[in-house]
Amino acid sequence: MKYYGTKNNKDYGFYEENFENAFEISDEYWMELLNAQSEGKMIIPFENNVIAVNENEYKYSNGTWKRLSPEEIEEQNAKIQKETRIAEIKKELEQLDKKRIRAIAEPSLIDEETSWLEHYNRQVITLREELEQLNT
């Protein structure tokens, strides 16, 4: 047998010995939980049990875990995708800034009419417009 809980009211974990408010679980279920955790799930106490869940399906609020509705999950996923895209855009802009500096220092044409600086500036404008839309 294993026990899941917290001894200091903040750090949850598995223990060999029983203690107040600990959840008793079998060794087999303990292994299932560890396998689920290694696949990216998080382990939480929920409705007098210990379960492994996807992080975006539950929310911790006021000392308890709450299962999110399908609408809340969709909203949370959209928020995560938006934040991920914003981070990607910022990284792309940083890389383009370096390329633009190089294009100023070493002027040349990408084709007969377009300089590398103009090419990179167009990309920057497009990314900044997308970033502005995401931030509104």
| Whether 44 contacts 66, CB under 8 Å | no
Where does the pLDDT of residue 65 fall: very low under 50, low under 70, confident under 90, or very high at 90 and above? confident
Can you list the positions of beta strands (E) in the chain?
A: 2-6, 12-15, 23-25, 42-45, 50-53, 58-61, 64-67
* Domain residue extents for the chain: 2-67, 70-134
Where does the pLDDT of residue 32 fall: very low under 50, low under 70, confident under 90, or very high at 90 and above? very high
Tokens encoding 126: 């497009």
DSSP 41: -
User: pLDDT tens across 79-123, in order?
Assistant: 989 999 999 999 999 999 999 999 998 878 888 889 999 999 999
Residue 60 confidence (pLDDT) above 90: no
| Whether 23 contacts 50, CB under 8 Å | yes
> How many C-beta atoms surround the C-beta of residue 36 within 10 A?
16
